[in-house]
Amino acid sequence: MIRSDTLAERNGTTMSTIDQEPAAELPWERFWQLIDLIGGEPAVAFCATFDDGCERLGAALAAGPAEEIVGFGERFAEALYRLDREEYGTQSASDPDDPEDRPLPLSDDGFLYARAAVVASGRTAYERVLADPALFARYSFRSGESLLYVHEEAYETATGEEWDHDTRYDYESCSNREGWPKL
């Protein structure tokens, strides 16, 4: 969210407490249209095609209003937060290049990047994974890390200011307390 202390500084006023204004709302339909600019899911190894897709998305966001960029950031954080659940995060990663198919535990970063890969794969893939956590395993060795920074960079390009918004949802691994009841 846009912090009101930052808004107050811009308006030349001071505030003794930090209140937050409502987050910019971006319809889910628009969010998924923007995600579709990526062009599909990230590959297991470095994928220039995925990074090119993230650049397309970033350019489209930067060309629009700043409110849409903030709204995109909000929806993206919410989408990641919804996947931040024990039934996803406790799955093992599976390296497709390992002939013995030995399971590997997901690190916090690996879990975040895999969740971003699910989102990058588009609405249909995302909804399928939400409905069936077993489908998350196919994303466990994919990295959607590049997508994490697209809206921040687009905001900086569009406004000339650094992204300093706190989203309503914390998408860091294990931040969804309802999704991790044993923590």
Reported as a single tens digit per residue, the pLDDT across 146-163 is 999 999 999 999 999 999
Does 182 reside within a domain? no
Does 180 reside within a domain? no
Does 138 reside within a domain? yes
Does 183 reside within a domain? no
Does 100 reside within a domain? yes
pLDDT tens digits, residue range 124-153?
Answer: 999 999 999 999 988 887 888 999 999 999
136: left (phi over 0), alpha (psi -120 to 50) or beta: alpha
Specify the residue for token string 């846009």.
2
| Other Cβ atoms within 10 Å of 4 Cβ, number | 16
DSSP 44: S
Owning domain of residue 63: 4-16+23-159
Does 52 reside within a domain? yes
pLDDT tens digits, residue range 42-52?
Answer: 654 445 678 88
Share of the chain above pLDDT 90, in %: 62
In total, how many domains does the chain have? 1
pLDDT tens digits, residue range 1-33?
Answer: 333 233 233 233 222 222 334 456 899 999 999
Does 148 reside within a domain? yes
Residue 9: partners with Cβ closer than 8 Å, 6 or more residues away: none
pTM of the model: 0.81
Q: Which amino acid is it at 84? A: D
Does 170 reside within a domain? no
